[in-house]
Amino acid sequence: MKIKLLYIFITALLFSGCASSVRFTAEKDSVPNHTEHKSPETNYDEFNNYEAIESVTGIASFYASKFHGRQTANGEIYNMYNLTAAHENYPFGTIIKVTNLNNNKSATIRINDRMPSHPQRIIDLSYGSALELEMIKDGIVNVRLDILKWGEE
């Protein structure tokens, strides 16, 4: 009986969430190329002439199909094709211009999710945001975040 309990305990430890999250690796998800599933998103054109309130640089990663259709931390359903992102502590609804420093591509996105503390990453972008920044192949890139408008949490 003790051996059976020990076996169950060890098995549970080995298979309980110890794998690294897709959000924090350079591994590529198997992502369908179905942009017709992109749902309507806030029009960010009004922010084109906003000056940055604050800027920070660091490394961005992205997440895609594994979380598609799941609830985000702010209660929305994650749509991997929308221009959104997860951040450790920026208020939900914060609008950010993200610039890929490797190719100077930029996208204006909205924070709608949380990411766990990760010392090497400053933001975790949706697949749609990563497409705009042309970072899918690289997986992780150096970015500059320009805060355009703080959200109200």
Find the CATH number of the domain harbouring 134: 2.40.40.10
Using a cut of 0.85, tell me whether the model's pTM lies above it. Answer: no
Residue 91 lies in a domain: yes
Domain that holds residue 113: 51-153
Residue 131 lies in a domain: yes
- What is the total count of domains within the chain? 1
Q: pLDDT (tens digit, 9 = 90+) per residue, 2-30?
A: 554 444 544 444 434 333 334 433 444 44
Q: pLDDT (tens digit, 9 = 90+) per residue, 98-119?
A: 999 999 999 999 998 888 777 8
Residue 116 lies in a domain: yes
Residue 106 lies in a domain: yes
Instruction: Give pairs for 150-153: CB < 8 Å, separation 24+.
Output: 150/53, 150/90, 150/91, 150/94, 151/90, 151/91, 151/92, 151/93, 151/94, 151/95, 151/110, 151/111, 152/91, 152/92, 152/93, 153/91, 153/92, 153/93
Residue 4 lies in a domain: no
Residue 121 lies in a domain: yes
